[in-house]
Amino acid sequence: MLREPHAEDGPAVSALIAASPPLDANSAYCNLLQCSDFAETCVVAESDGRLVGWISAYRPPSHPDRLFVWQVAVAAEARGQGLGGRMLDALIERPALRAVRELTTTITDANKASWALFGAFARRRGATLTRTLRFDRERHFAGAHDTEWQASIAPLAFARSN
Ligand SMILES: CC(C)(COP(=O)(O)OP(=O)(O)OC[C@H]1O[C@@H](n2cnc3c(N)ncnc32)[C@H](O)[C@@H]1OP(=O)(O)O)[C@@H](O)C(=O)NCCC(=O)NCCS
């Protein structure tokens, strides 16, 4: 079952992220804010009462027609079955996100599963994925993190069912 999160999901969300390298672990407080203040743009997937999938996202205040996907995590035992893609589809089809025209995210070069996930999403939507530099290893991370490339997927309006 896919649904919006609530604050009580916070600990399970934090545990799933911690078990999903290479994702950065966030503070428990950060995940609680995502599960509450940003619930409208986040998704949890449950199976037999267990939280097996998570997407955090928000609409950047300067670009409310954009959805920035922060993290996607699928529990190891649930991977490769299309759950990541189904969560992205369910999110973009929410009536509250009707005005969204572009999905953006950032991905490191090495994360092949993530490129495949967002590439497949773009193809399903008949949209184009454009790759640009977002956060540079040296300039933005002081050498402590691989470069994050921004994937921008647009246009989204035409293929939407709402
Ligand atoms: C990335 C992740 C969310 C994908 O979830 P998933 O439910 O397994 O993805 P899906 O089953 O929907 O697969 C989506 C696409 O990715 C491909 N894919 C899945 N795992 C892959 C892998 N390890 N390597 C290459 N491609 C992969 C699938 O074949 C599919 O492509 P297709 O539709 O062209 O066949 C999951 O692997 C994960 O949680 N990884 C750890 C955390 C992470 O890296 N998150 C992404 C960064 S935000």
Cis peptide upstream of residue 22 (ω within 30 degrees of 0):
yes
**Closest ligand 1 atom number to CA of residue 105:** 48
> What is the C-alpha R_g of the chain?
15
Q: What is the strand order of the sheet 43-47 is part of? A: 2-3, 43-47, 50-58, 66-74, 102-108, 148-154, 128-135
pLDDT band at 108 (very low <50, low <70, confident <90, very high): very high
Q: What is the pLDDT of residue 160?
A: 54
Residue 113's SS3 state is: helix
* 150-162 average pLDDT score: 77
Q: How confident is the model at residue 5 (pLDDT cuts 50, 70, 90)?
A: very high
Question: What's the CATH fold of domain 2-154?
Answer: Aminopeptidase (3.40.630)
CA 108 – ligand 1 centroid, Å: 14
Averaged pLDDT, 133-158: 94
Q: Which residues line ligand 1 (CB under 6 A)?
A: 20, 22-23, 71-74, 79-85, 111-114, 116-117, 120
- Calculate how far, in angstroms, residue 96's C-alpha sits from the geometric centre of ligand 1: 26
When pLDDT is cut at 50, 70 and 90, the band that residue 161 belongs to is: low
**pLDDT above 60: residue 25:** yes
Q: Which two tokens stand for residue 157?
A: 């309006």
For residues 157 and 67, give the distance between their C-alpha atoms in angstroms, rounded to a whole number.
13
Which ligand 1 atom is the nearest neighbour of the CA of 70? 48
Q: What is the C-alpha to C-alpha distance for residues 128 and 130, in angstroms, rounded to an integer?
A: 6
Closest by alpha carbon to 10, among 56, 48, 47?
56
Average pLDDT, the chain: 95
pLDDT the model gives residue 157: 75
- Predicted confidence (pLDDT) at residue 158 exceeds the cutoff of 70: no
- CA of 59 from ligand 1 middle (Å) equals 23
